[in-house]
């Protein structure tokens, strides 16, 4: 389903969003409708539009997985706003990072954890890559383990991206596919990961923080090795199993078969794809 937009899309009230989003009944599912405004939206505005659309899936009484990253931040802000306005009630959030936890607390969103709520109604989060089968690469922000734990426990997982994140195959952007590893002998683990995918021209690099060059440390006290591929890595389920069999690996950033709905924000509007 395609949804054209107006530049006045971004508003503080839900009613403004509802009048701005127009779904033409004659538009075939999956096709982009022509733009209704000549205004050019920034990438962050597109992210905000997609995030607000995703929050329309939220209902009072839900237990929600709260994603991490620039797009998910807009969704969390919107949930907090609707709670404050009384348009949502009895929401419980499960954050996927310390950063999102802090954001949710500042907005007054009640929080819990997977121990208390092992099954969630819905999660909303962004992605770094999405292939045609709705498989994802996530974790370039460093929160992949908690994201996978929370979003793997959801009945519905709504993913929000801009169209630049769409790829023919995972790794196709040439950017990082993250793997969270334990700090112990990290170089040994990185070398094994690189060798595992040498046929795809893999280069493994330890993620570092800022100019100091110190290893980036996740919320869980682990390191991240970023894998860069020159070619398709083939069967994703086999690749996943091979990575997870390596001692020292905690989790990888391929989210396979988890997304149930994809919302893509682009120059012509929003496209929604359901699995």
User: Active-site residues: which are they?
Assistant: 147
CA 95/CA 226 separation, integer angstroms: 24
The values of phi and psi at residue 234, to 5°, are 85, -145
Residue 208 C-beta-side C-alpha neighbours within 13 Å = 7
Angle at 164 between CA 33 and CA 101, to 5 degrees: 105
Between the alpha carbon of residue 230 and those of residues 44, 171, 176, 198, the distances in Å are 29, 8, 11, 10
Angle at 268 between CA 267 and CA 272, to 5 degrees: 105
Continuous segment of H or E residues that includes residue 123: strand 122-126
210, two tokens: 């800022």
Which residues, listed in sequence order, are joined to residue 166 by a DSSP beta bridge? 130
Which residues, including other chains, have CB under 8 Å from residue 213's CB and lie 6 or more apart? none
Torsion sign (Cα): 205, 208, 214, 218: negative
């Amino acid at each position: 389903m395609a949804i054209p937009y107006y530049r006045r899309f971004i508003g503080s009230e839900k009613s403004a969003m509802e009048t701005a989003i127009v779904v033409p009944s004659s538009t075939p599912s999956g096709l982009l409708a022509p733009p209704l405004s000549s205004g050019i939206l920034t990438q962050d505005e597109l992210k905000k539009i997609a995030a607000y659309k995703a929050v329309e899936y939220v209902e009072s009484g839900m237990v929600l997985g709260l994603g991490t990253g620039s797009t998910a931040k807009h969704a969390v802000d919107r949930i907090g706003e609707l709670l404050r306005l009384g348009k949502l009630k009895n929401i419980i959030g499960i954050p996927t990072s310390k950063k999102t936890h802090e954001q949710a607390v500042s907005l007054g969103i009640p929080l819990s954890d997977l121990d208390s709520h092992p099954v969630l109604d819905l999660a909303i989060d962004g992605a770094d890559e999405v292939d045609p089968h709705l498989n994802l690469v996530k974790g370039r922000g460093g929160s992949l383990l908690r994201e996978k734990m929370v979003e793997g426990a959801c009945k519905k997982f709504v993913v929000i991206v801009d169209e630049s994140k769409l790829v023919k195959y995972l790794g196709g952007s040439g950017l990082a596919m993250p793997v969270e590893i334990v700090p112990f002998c990290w170089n040994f683990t990185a070398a094994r990961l690189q060798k595992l995918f040498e046929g795809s021209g893999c280069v493994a690099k330890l993620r570092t923080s800022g100019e100091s060059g110190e290893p980036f440390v996740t919320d869980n006290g682990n390191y991240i090795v970023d894998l860069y591929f020159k070619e398709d890595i083939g069967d994703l389920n086999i690749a996943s199993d091979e990575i997870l069999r390596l001692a020292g690996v905690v989790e990888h950033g391929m989210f396979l078969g988890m997304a149930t709905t994809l919302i893509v924000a682009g120059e012509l509007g929003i496209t929604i794809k359901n699995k």
